[in-house]
Structure 1
Amino acid sequence: MARASVLIYGLLTSIYAHGTSTQGRSDIASQTVSAIYGEELQLPCTAPHRKHAQTIQWLLKTSSKEQWEQIAVVRGDEKPTAVGHFETQGNGTLLVRSVGIEDEGQFKCQAAKNGSEHHSMTNVAVFKSPSKPELIENYLTFTAGTHSEIGKCITRDGYPVGNITWYKNGKVLLANRNETQIKIHIMKNQNTRLYTIESTLYYTLSKNDINAEFFCEVVYPFQEGSDTQSSEPVKIDVYYPIEHVTIEVDPSNDVIREGDTVILNCTADTNPSPAEYLWEKDGKQLSALGYYRLHAVTKRDEGEYRCTVFDFDFNMRSAVMLIQVKAASGDNNEIEHGGVIPPIAEESHSGDRHGEPKPLNRAGMIIGIIVTLMLVAFFTTIAYYMCYYKEKTEKKPYEDLEERSAMDPGKAAPTAEKVDGEEC
């Protein structure tokens, strides 16, 4: 305790002016002392005086509107008297035990003898470091594009009032009434007169703020300068809907041959990871995983593969890839370059996660089949008629020869070889 008193005594910053005097009175210019809340403070009386030769009084004035209040007195050889947590020593020094906010103000030492008075003034400024700031967050996950409350920064029991600053990834955040808003609430304890500061940060987040770190810092006056304390940082996560869906082939060969094993990987630019996947081939559901494996592919595996992704907010988006397989025999009619055709379509929808792709137009398919069958029947009838008419035409000359031979038996029919017509 004695050491603390010596240290505080050493903090005295005295500014002395020439003494001004009137008839039997002189004043010493004031000096300023920094006191720490809750600690002990010693104030020496700098007014000229001699021990046991006069009366020394200590008076306190905490504001310009208040009157001087006597807090201690020493009269000659009498035992010093004091009130409250004040004490005086024989040499006139005032001892303040456990400094409080109520001790901030002007202290006056007045030494009097035989009608002459001498005064010295001491200004006492009290400081109390606040508690370490505490960052209280309501949530650790946010949705991109929304103006959200990131958290509250609270620092308690400080004096005088400090100032709270917010940081994101080590950079100061300044209120701008748009994406960044900061609300301050200051409370004063009526008993201790200490201050509690509460600062609330509102911020509009984007997908780039994933894993961003926020913390707050309190800067408060302390003795002849200032000091700072920082809260523990908090890391947040930002959700955002699906932006892109892609299908990738592994291994990434340009040509897929019969017998190869390939994996189709479906990836989506969204956070968190997709809630659900749906694989389809030519409208038929295949799998609900993030990938689809084709083992020992054949020509039957050719077709249009669609991956549909559902995110946390039940939005969905799709990517389509056309897969073609090259025959192992190397048929010249097969595609020689590229068995994978890049995604040819991408669709996005917002709605129920159970939304299904549009069904195939079965009525149109049936009509197309009927029309095709009718055309086949028509051309088959034409072909049959043409073959029948040709056969009749080729048989007629031989019938004429037979008729003439029957009418004129004396004439021998010429030898001829009948040539069969084309089979129809």
Structure 2
Amino acid sequence: MFCILVAKCVLVFSKGLGWYTVNSAYGDTIIMPCRLDVPQNLMFGKWKYENPDGSPVFIAFRSSTKKNVQYDDVPEYKDRLSLSENYTLSITNARISDEKRFVCMLVTEDDVFEAPTVVKVFKQPSKPEIVSKAPFLETEQLRQLGDCISKDSYPYGNITWYRNGRELQHREGVVNISFNKQMDPATQLYTMTSSLEYKATKADIQMPFTCSVAYYGPSGQNTVYSEQAVFDIYYPTEQVTIQVLPPKTAIKEGDNITLKCLGNGNPPPAEFLFYLPGHPEGIRSSNAYTLTDVRRNATGDYKCSLIDKRSMIASTAITVHYLDLSLNPSGEVTKQVGDALPVSCTVSSSRNASVVWMKDNTRLRSSPSFSSLRYQDAGNYVCETALQEVEGLKKRESLTLVVEGKPQIKMTKKTDPSGLSKTITCHVEGFPKPAIQWTITGTGSVINQ
């Protein structure tokens, strides 16, 4: 009801239209058309808004005759209003407090027309972010995964959690989701926080977690997503394995052996118990244990286990390869021609070994055997043996055989076909090398030496 003083005070009832809604983004300019046809006998137009208790607050006035515009002294709208000739009201820098019911009023001498407009202001929230992230998740343990936070929203939005792109639903003791919203009294903008407690499994290894916030804007509902977060998943060791370095097929006496124990948990165990032949109680060590200068008596079963769960154990058999060679006789041996000389080359090894005989750098087809020594049997003999599967494992012993004997003389004569001369040849065999001289029988004179 509006009272106009002309010649007398007359009470008239306003006529107008139904409610109309204008949606605006936070910070934009709100534009509200009057939505009334301007009557020919218009005196002036006014805009007002209504307080929650229904009381009016006038904010703008425009005369139809003087064409001047007046803005009421309302602090929150100072320098923000603009009223056009067609009575469209614009409000710059939209705020949450602008969510009101505004009314356009066109006044004639005998009537008042009203058109209400409801203003809705929307503020897109910030991109959600996963914060307070757990350094790791542990299987079968309900742990705080993190908080999803999104700021400066109006109205407040709803937060959803995802695992590998699939929405997570609340499951007591497995997936616990809580939600909290707070409004800044100065800006009336909301900050939303959702906390996720999660019980991980090994299937969560390398799985991405994300969150989203669904909010309403001027054009309807929208959703914005966070960046992915991948968490380190801790899980207990389920199997223990043991490794031997160098490879156990090539270990020989004098080598160093490193036993390496591995657990398939995350993080892997840092310490183990190592069980060596003769040490059933176990030796506590890091995941590597080294034995130096091993001997053949180190051959046996080696094991390792978890410290706190000795039943989880792994074992391996290690053979320390060895090779012994004995040559009898060896060194330098002097024998007489015609003597017998038994020779033996005995090999003791962890595997079948090959044996090769050499004489004066020439390979023999068989082992030497001397039942009656000859001068040509003298020489340098070498017995060599090796394990082909084990690099560097070979042995050799040598025998230098010297064959001595009294000189043996053999003479031959050959007459020249002319009959004028004869050639006498003297063959002497012996060791050490004999001295040879010629004498003339009956005279004793030496003619050659």
- Please give the range of the TM-score, normalised by the shorter of the 2 chains: 0.5 to 0.7
Q: What is the 5 A alignment of 1:6-21?
A: none
Is 1:270 aligned to 2:258, yes or no? no
| Alpha-carbon distance in 2 for matches of 1:218, 1:180 | 18
Is 1:54 aligned to 2:54, yes or no? no
Q: CA deviation at 1:232?
A: 2.5
Q: 1:306 aligns with which of 293, 303, 309?
A: 303
Note the alpha carbon deviations across 1:303-344, whole angstroms, 9 max, x for none.
Answer: 12012345xxx666432334457854439xxxxxxxxxxxxx
Is 1:118 aligned to 2:106, yes or no? no
| Alpha-carbon distance in 1 for matches of 2:104, 2:293 | 102
Judge conservation of contact 2:27–2:94 (CA < 8 Å) in 1: yes
Is 1:330 aligned to 2:349, yes or no? no
Match of 2:207 in 1: 212
| Alpha-carbon distance in 2 for matches of 1:315, 1:56 | 88
Q: CA deviation at 1:257?
A: 8.4
User: What is the identity, as a one-letter code, of the residue corresponding to 1:202?
Assistant: E
Note the alpha carbon deviations across 1:215-237, whole angstroms, 9 max, x for none.
Answer: 21111011122222222322211
Corresponding residue SS for 1:208: helix
Match of 2:145 in 1: 150
Q: What is the 5 A alignment of 1:188-227?
A: 188-227=183-222
| Alpha-carbon distance in 2 for matches of 1:286, 1:299 | 21
Corresponding residue SS for 1:102: helix
Corresponding residue SS for 2:18: strand
Judge conservation of contact 2:270–2:286 (CA < 8 Å) in 1: no
Note the alpha carbon deviations across 1:55-114, whole angstroms, 9 max, x for none.
Answer: 211122365x53333222223326322244233233312121211111113221111102
Match of 1:280 in 2: 275
Greater share of strand residues, 1 or 2?
A: 2
Is 1:171 aligned to 2:193, yes or no? no
Q: 1:32 aligns with which of 21, 26, 36?
A: 21
Cα distance change on mapping 1:267 and 1:260 into 2, 3 Å: farther
Q: CA deviation at 1:182?
A: 0.6
| Alpha-carbon distance in 2 for matches of 1:229, 1:164 | 10
Corresponding residue SS for 1:29: coil
Judge conservation of contact 1:24–1:115 (CA < 8 Å) in 2: no
| Alpha-carbon distance in 1 for matches of 2:57, 2:201 | 61
Match of 1:392 in 2: none
Q: 1:134 aligns with which of 129, 149, 152?
A: 129
Note the alpha carbon deviations across 1:227-248, whole angstroms, 9 max, x for none.
Answer: 2222232221122222211235
Q: CA deviation at 1:260?
A: 12
Match of 2:239 in 1: 244
Cα distance change on mapping 1:88 and 1:329 into 2, 3 Å: closer
Cα distance change on mapping 1:210 and 1:219 into 2, 3 Å: same
Q: How many residues align?
A: 304
Judge conservation of contact 1:241–1:315 (CA < 8 Å) in 2: no
Cα distance change on mapping 1:301 and 1:256 into 2, 3 Å: farther
| Alpha-carbon distance in 1 for matches of 2:264, 2:278 | 24
Q: CA deviation at 1:128?
A: 0.5
| Alpha-carbon distance in 2 for matches of 1:124, 1:106 | 6
User: What is the identity, as a one-letter code, of the residue corresponding to 2:301?
Assistant: E
Match of 1:393 in 2: none
Judge conservation of contact 2:160–2:213 (CA < 8 Å) in 1: yes
- Name whichever of 176-185 and 72-81 sits farther off: 72-81
Match of 2:225 in 1: 230
Match of 1:70 in 2: 58
Judge conservation of contact 2:253–2:296 (CA < 8 Å) in 1: no
Match of 2:155 in 1: 160
Note the alpha carbon deviations across 1:388-411, whole angstroms, 9 max, x for none.
Answer: xxxxxxxxxxxxxxxxxxxxxxxx
Judge conservation of contact 1:51–1:90 (CA < 8 Å) in 2: no
| Alpha-carbon distance in 1 for matches of 2:172, 2:50 | 43
Q: CA deviation at 1:278?
A: 4.1
Please say which structure displays the higher CA radius of gyration.
2
Note the alpha carbon deviations across 1:112-169, whole angstroms, 9 max, x for none.
Answer: 1021222222222110011222211253123322111111111111101101011122
Q: CA deviation at 1:54?
A: 1.9
Cα distance change on mapping 1:304 and 1:166 into 2, 3 Å: same
User: What is the identity, as a one-letter code, of the residue corresponding to 2:30?
Assistant: L
| Alpha-carbon distance in 1 for matches of 2:278, 2:39 | 108
Where structure 2 has 5 or more consecutive residues not aligned to the other structure, the ranges are 1-11, 322-348, 354-449
Note the alpha carbon deviations across 1:249-282, whole angstroms, 9 max, x for none.
Answer: 67889x7786798875432121112212443312
Cα distance change on mapping 1:157 and 1:258 into 2, 3 Å: closer
- Name whichever of 166-175 and 153-162 sits farther off: 166-175
Corresponding residue SS for 1:54: strand
Cα distance change on mapping 1:265 and 1:43 into 2, 3 Å: same
Corresponding residue SS for 1:57: strand
| Alpha-carbon distance in 1 for matches of 2:295, 2:46 | 109
Q: CA deviation at 1:52?
A: 8.5
Judge conservation of contact 1:258–1:296 (CA < 8 Å) in 2: no
Where structure 1 has 5 or more consecutive residues not aligned to the other structure, the ranges are 1-22, 332-424
| Alpha-carbon distance in 1 for matches of 2:304, 2:85 | 93
| Alpha-carbon distance in 2 for matches of 1:267, 1:302 | 22
**TM value normalised by structure 1:** 0.62
User: What is the identity, as a one-letter code, of the residue corresponding to 1:55?
Assistant: F
Identity %: 29
User: What is the identity, as a one-letter code, of the residue corresponding to 1:300?
Assistant: N
Match of 1:183 in 2: 178
Note the alpha carbon deviations across 1:336-390, whole angstroms, 9 max, x for none.
Answer: xxxxxxxxxxxxxxxxxxxxxxxxxxxxxxxxxxxxxxxxxxxxxxxxxxxxxxx
Greater share of helix residues, 1 or 2?
A: 1
Match of 2:356 in 1: none
Q: CA deviation at 1:31?
A: 2.6
